[in-house]
Each structure stands twice: as C-alpha cells, then as structure tokens.
Amino acid sequence: MSVSSATTEVVDPVPGAAAPHLPEQPDLVQLLTPEGERVEHPDYSIDVSAEELRDLYRDLVLVRRWDVEATALQRQGELGIWASLLGQEAAQIGAGRALQDGDVAFPTYREHGVAWTRGVDPLHVISLFRGVDNGGWDPVATAFNLYTVVIGAQCLHATGYAMGLQRDGAEHAALAFLGDGATSQGEVNEAMIWAASFSAPVVFFCQNNQYAISVPLERQTRVPLYQRAAGFGFPGVRVDGNDVLAVLAVTRAALAAAREGQGPTFIEAFTYRMGAHTTSDDPTRYRLASELEEWKLRDPIARVKAHLSRSGVADAAFFDSVEAEADELAKRIRTGTVEMPDPPGTAMFDQVYAEQTPPLAAQQAQFEAYQASFEGSEH
C-alpha cells in the first residue's frame, strides 16, 4: 500500500510525540510508533488494508466515547460504579479483533473494548453497572463470557473451557483477560499450571496498566511479567499495549498456536491506565501528574490517527464522520441508561438455578409477603 506524498493530508499529528523526556519503553513488540510510523518486527508482521485500518480507528474512538460517557453517567448518579478502560483501548480492540468464530473470550470487569468487538450492545454492559442485572448479553451467542469481578477466577474458567475444546476435538481457543495485579492471585497461577500440564488451547492476555489499584508493578514482581510464563513451561511475549497493530499481530499468532495444539501463551500488553481504577478510586493519591502526561504521548488513538492521515488513507471528512458517529453513540447510551427500567425485586430469584428449587421458592414467597406488608402503608 503506497500513497504519493503529494496527496498526503496531515490531520492533527500527535502533539509532543518526539518529546525528549518520554521515558524509554522496555523491549517489546511494536509495529506502530507513538509518532504513527510503521515499523517492522522480525517475529511478527501484519498485513492490513486501508479499510481495516480505518475500521480499527473507528473501534478505538467509539469505545473511548462509550467509556467517557459511562464515566460521566456514574458521576451524575446514574451508575453505581464504572471501571474505565481509558488508555487501554488498543490492547482490547487488538485482542478482540484477533478472535475467530468459535473462539471464546473470558473478561474481567474492564473489557468493554473486547465486548464491542464481539457485538455486545454497550447498554447490556451498562445495565450491569447500573445494578439492573448481572450482564444483559448472551455469553453463548456472543462468545464473550459474563464479567468476572472475582480477581483471576476467569483464568480458571478459560482454562477449563479450553480443556473442554481440546477433548471435543474443536480447533478453537479461549482468550483469558487479566490485569497485572491478578498475576499475584493463586487462581491465575493454578490456571497456568493446568494449562501448561494439559497443553490447553488458551491464551492469557495480561493488560499491564502499571497499577493494581494503587500498588505499582515493581511492588509485585522482580521480573517482567511475560517472563513468568517460562516457569510454567510455555511462551511469553511482551507487546506494546498502546499499539493496536502489534497487539492484533501478537494475539493472532498466539491464538493460532493454541488452535494448532501448541498449548498456551502468555501475552503482556504493556500499557497504562489513564484514568482511575474505578470511579471509587482517586489515582492522584498514589501517582504523579507528570507520569500521566508522559503516557499521554503514547496515546493509542492519536498514533493511529497520525498514521492514517500521513499515509493518505483517511482525510478530515473521515475523522469528522467518526466523531459524529461517536456523538450519536454517546446520545444512545445516555438516553438508554436514563430510561432503563428497574427490575422487580423478585427478579433476583429468576436465574439462580435452571429450575427453581423448593428452598428458593420458599425464600421468594417470604420475600413477596414481606414486600406486600408495606402496601397501603405510609412508611
């Protein structure tokens, strides 16, 4: 794909991308620099069309807009809590777009970008954080499991599912998401032991956003996280988590290896949590503003926009159209959230078991009687 420089239109290049104070990143797989320049890697390559590049940019922008709108809704009392993905869009979109039909994703509670790539309606995620339900999407139809709040538990689920795929003879894979803090959890280590022992077709995708809530990475590990995989007996790779092309290439390769029977891979997506851990967190208490400003120079969306404009495959009209679409998405999310009906109190009994048990039926009857006792009362 070559474009004459005479037709290249530079649109809003990355501000300050060449700043000399930008801290050096560790060795990692990178295909798109913070300045938006394409580079090659000896072990990973990717061939994407101009249309695919534009689609990836659209994904990144729309998911960020969803996230920003949800944060605003929480601040206005419409959501109980929100776990922001701000800054981690490339890691999630790249990994999500690497999945094929038949593969299944096992998220934490922050993988809104992966949910987007699996066709999950944002409002079905919002309803969970509004307390309306436990997740409004069908995990079977979307191949995207329900959010897991218990730290690390989804890695066990993914490994068990992958072992099931293995026994069924299915040429598919499971993709387990986790954060850097979860690597200190027993469940994650147990999952990796089992995955290694049985060569399960599972990929562990760790978004290292530098902080486990307020605990920095250096408090949790003495070696880079991806190197831990060697101790379990399978490959580990570190990728620039703010580079959507590199994440896509690395995750595709790891999933392909899993499907081919080569066993698990551990991917460390080296990224940064630009916002708070959740809306209940205050990151100014444990990190410096200068650190955040430095990481803004590696913004995952800005580098794709710079590359698109400099390579001449997108112009101002395209960027304006994506922004307009983002505005419409934000409007739909806000309206849908505010108008979301509260469920009846008895709804909590509906999906505890596939078939209601006598003890559960008795509990529901007791609850209904208690609720009815308030009818006609002023209290």
For 20-69, the pLDDT digits (tens) are: 334 456 789 999 999 999 999 999 999 999 999 999 999 999 999 999 99
- Residue 138 belongs to some domain of the structure: yes
CATH number at residue 117: 3.40.50.970
Domain limits for position 298: 13-338
The confidence score (pLDDT) of residue 7 equals 40
- pLDDT (tens digit per residue) in 122-174: 999 999 999 999 888 999 999 999 999 999 999 999 999 999 999 999 999 99
Instruction: Residue 201: name the closest of 165, 176, 232, 229 by CA.
Output: 165
Question: In this structure, are 360 and 232 located in the same domain?
Answer: no
Number of domains in the chain: 2
273, 303, 307, 310: which is the annotated catalytic residue? 273
Q: Tell me the C-alpha distance between 191 and 189, whole Å.
A: 5
Question: In this structure, are 143 and 215 located in the same domain?
Answer: yes
286 is an active site residue: yes
Q: Which segments in the chain show pLDDT lower than 50?
A: 1-23
- Residue 3 belongs to some domain of the structure: no
Question: In this structure, are 379 and 231 located in the same domain?
Answer: no
The structure tokens listed for 52 are: 């695919």
58 is an active site residue: no
273 is an active site residue: yes
What is the phi-psi region of residue 287: left when phi exceeds 0, alpha when psi lies from -120 to 50, beta otherwise? beta
Question: In this structure, are 256 and 368 located in the same domain?
Answer: no
75, 219, 286, 370: which is the annotated catalytic residue? 286
- Residue 247 belongs to some domain of the structure: yes
Tell me the helices (H) and strands (E) count for the chain, helix number first: 13, 7
- Residue 261 belongs to some domain of the structure: yes
130, 277, 298, 307: which is the annotated catalytic residue? 277
Question: In this structure, are 217 and 361 located in the same domain?
Answer: no
Q: Tell me the C-alpha distance between 298 and 16, whole Å.
A: 10
Question: In this structure, are 238 and 370 located in the same domain?
Answer: no
Question: In this structure, are 112 and 251 located in the same domain?
Answer: yes
